[in-house]
Amino acid sequence: MSATASITTPIYYVNDRPHIGHVFTTTLCDTWARAMRMRGRDTFFLTGTDEHGVKVEKSATANGVSPQAWADRNAAEFEAVLRLFQQTNDDFIRTTQPRHERQVQALVERLKAAGVLYKGAFEGWYDEGEENYLTETRAKECEYKSPVSGRPLVRAKEENWYFRLSAFAPKLEAMFAANPDFVRPAARRNEVLGRLREGLQDVPMTRTNFSWGIPMPGDPGHVIYVWIDALFNYVTALGLGDGSVKERVKYWPADYHVIGKEILWFHAVIWPAMLMALELPLPKCVYAHSFWISEGQKMSKSLGNFIDLAALEGYMGKYGLDALRWFMLTRGPLESTDADFRALAFHETYVADLVNTVGNCSSRVTAMIGKTFDGAMPADARGGDAWPAMCDSVVKQWEGHMDRFELGPAAAAAIGLLREVDGFINRTEPFKLAKDPAKRDEVASILAQCAETVRIASLLLEPFLPQRMADLQVALGAPMAGEPWARKVVWGGLKAGTKMAKVALYPRIETPGTPA
Ligand code: MSP
């Protein structure tokens, strides 16, 4: 386990309004970053906005403002959304910041010096919406329509600077062979390998048909292609372009670049080749999740099923932030299939997992201790029986899952502990035994074992459910707050006699659906 942990989201286009897609990816990274911080790793979680390119220039003009004013307005909204959803990012990089622009130019100079750039004419199939050329094979596959928007591709020709991606094919192949987990999940890696076999085309580095971008050093008529500019954010935030932020150098390479599947090629092929040319280490893993659809269909503004900011705020207002996070993190498109955001599924997940399991189990245990032992942790003369070993094994599983960015399995392991506690209470029926004074010691052991397991589960659930798990720990007397992780997760943190309060974490909600 290395001492640092670093994770990135894509930087989001400022001409889009924040929606479930952005909040989802950011929440995945936030959950991992919280888990790593809890474990004492020196953590860096980066997000930000992608602000250059023809789309931003056009939207700004259409709105009668300068591109910078447009970018400022929308970047502020993205930042406000991070605060609204209590994301714990350590920095927010904007590609129009001088720190980024300066370093991008320096990095492009280095690419030039490395001999991997050249000026040439190019003609190909261009996706205007995505600002992206498609290979002939790919364009044909997509019937000469944008794979994203469905709009026809246009035949475009320009004289540009190019990055010699084709020269990196052997190195990329060797890298993929040596690092089977470089791209995850496996289905996404196979897609990349399939496309690599079709051969690599050089990629344009600059554009000349608009001006909203970073000028190409030494060739002012050209601006650096928005995708190249954007990819560099991962290292400019750390000052790697000019050594300007020494204390952040340790956060490179990133452990995880978390992205949506539609931008995999840029991250899994173009970006590594650029890093190879710059002789910089590659990120350890590019994790490409799938997409949210909504109520069974692709999200669309016209269908009215778009999970936009207002919809997300509606869910958060009604069910709370933990519920929104839990639904996204356990029912979301973390793997290679898309996931459906359905109001009913959201409601059922909330009731089954948060109300009936996490909430019910914690309130049962704290209420019984309240009633039977006057709210003080009872003594367990049986030393925990089988529970310490079980908790220890679940903690280890959870740690392994977190290290491997397996958030779904980590969440399942954590909530599984509470299901065990519930089953144990149902089997041993301490509420019945409590009526017999001769069984007091037995009841004490049962409830102490339950409470201690709830404490450990609350730690494992905290990155997923930061709000109520913090409350739960306070209710349990905040044992071991400030202690290192390795001590916190060891059995026995709740000492006999510790006062605890009865908790009610997740209110029962009767009717599904978002508020109007
Ligand atoms: N600016 C580029 C990324 C540059 S990174 C160097 C970009 N921006 S974006 O605003 O379009 O954001 C794309 C990201 O938003 C996706 O990769 C994904 O993380 C998220 N999502 C957008 N729509 C989504 C869904 N419907 N479902 C899940 N996530 C998706 O591309």
DSSP 394-459: HHHHHHHHHHTT-HHHHHHHHHHHHHHHHHHHHHH-HHHHTTSGGGHHHHHHHHHHHHHHHHHHHH
DSSP 406-421: -HHHHHHHHHHHHHHH
Query: How far apart, in whole angstroms, are the C-alpha atoms of residue 281 and residue 258?
Result: 17
- Residue 1 — pLDDT band, cuts 50, 70, 90? low
26 lines ligand 1 (CB under 6 A): no
Q: Which alpha helices (DSSP H) does 98-159 contain, by range?
A: 98-113, 136-141
> What is the set of domains in the chain, with CATH numbers?
4-289 (3.40.50.620), 343-488 (1.10.730.10)
Q: What is the mean pLDDT of residues 27-49?
A: 98
Minimal CA–CA distance to 69: which of 212, 216, 210?
212
> What SS3 class is residue 238?
coil
Q: What is the mean pLDDT of residues 252-260?
A: 98
Higher pLDDT, 327 or 480: 327
Residue 516 predicted with pLDDT over 80:
no
Closest protein CA for atom 14 of ligand 1 = 260
118's enclosing H/E stretch is strand 117-127
25 lines ligand 1 (CB under 6 A): yes
Query: How far apart, in whole angstroms, are the C-alpha atoms of residue 392 and residue 241?
Result: 43
> What SS3 class is residue 497?
coil
Query: How far apart, in whole angstroms, are the C-alpha atoms of residue 136 and residue 440?
Result: 77
CA dihedral for 458, 462, 468, 474, sign (positive or negative):
positive
pLDDT at 515: 57
6 lines ligand 1 (CB under 6 A): no
Q: Torsion-angle region of residue 405: left (phi > 0), alpha (psi -120 to 50) or beta?
A: left
Q: Tokens at residue 204, please?
A: 């344009």
Q: Tokens at residue 427, please?
A: 């089997």
Higher pLDDT, 480 or 281: 281
Closest protein CA for atom 7 of ligand 1 = 12
Q: What is the mean pLDDT of residues 385-404?
A: 98
Closest protein CA for atom 16 of ligand 1 = 260
- Quote the ligand 1 centre to 471 CA distance (angstroms): 33
Contact (Cβ atoms closer than 8 angstroms) between residue 134 and residue 125: yes
Q: Tokens at residue 218, please?
A: 């030494």
Query: How far apart, in whole angstroms, are the C-alpha atoms of residue 467 and residue 477?
Result: 16
Average pLDDT, the chain: 95
Closest protein CA for atom 17 of ligand 1 = 260
Higher pLDDT, 308 or 132: 308
Q: What is the pLDDT of residues 155-187, one digit of tens each?
A: 988 889 999 999 999 999 999 999 999 999 999
Q: Which residues make Cβ contacts (< 8 Å) with residue 298, sequence separation at least 6?
A: none
Residue 399 CA to its chain's centroid (Å): 17
Closest protein CA for atom 13 of ligand 1 = 12
DSSP 297-320: B---TTTT---BHHHHHHHHHHH-
Q: What is the pLDDT of residues 78-123, one digit of tens each?
A: 999 999 999 999 999 999 999 999 999 999 999 999 999 999 987 8
Query: How far apart, in whole angstroms, are the C-alpha atoms of residue 193 and residue 469?
Result: 42
Q: Which residues make Cβ contacts (< 8 Å) with residue 109, sequence separation at least 6?
A: 217
Query: How far apart, in whole angstroms, are the C-alpha atoms of residue 104 and residue 371?
Result: 64
Do the bridges between strand 286-289 and strand 42-50 make them parallel or antiparallel, or are there none, so unpaired? unpaired
Report the residue among 51, 130, 263, 287 best suited for mutation to probe ligand 1: largest number of ligand atoms under 8 A from its CB: 263
Residue 380 predicted with pLDDT over 90:
yes
Q: What is the pLDDT of residues 459-511, one digit of tens each?
A: 999 999 999 999 999 999 977 888 999 999 999 999 999 999 999 999 999 98
Q: Tokens at residue 344, please?
A: 């009913």
Contact (Cβ atoms closer than 8 angstroms) between residue 283 and residue 119: no
Q: Tokens at residue 20, please?
A: 């479930």
Report the residue among 50, 300, 331 best suited for mutation to probe ligand 1: largest number of ligand atoms under 8 A from its CB: 50
Contact (Cβ atoms closer than 8 angstroms) between residue 334 and residue 289: yes
154's enclosing H/E stretch is strand 154-163
Which residues partner with 12 through β-bridges? 49
Report the residue among 26, 262, 274, 301 best suited for mutation to probe ligand 1: largest number of ligand atoms under 8 A from its CB: 262
- Quote the ligand 1 centre to 9 CA distance (angstroms): 9
pLDDT at 443: 98
Query: How far apart, in whole angstroms, are the C-alpha atoms of residue 45 and residue 251?
Result: 10
Q: Which residues make Cβ contacts (< 8 Å) with residue 74, sequence separation at least 6?
A: 14, 15, 17, 49
Q: What is the pLDDT of residues 179-234, one digit of tens each?
A: 999 999 999 999 999 999 999 999 999 988 889 999 999 998 999 999 999 999 99
In whole angstroms, how far apart are CA 117 and each of 109, 214, 241, 407, 428? 10, 17, 17, 40, 72
pLDDT at 132: 82
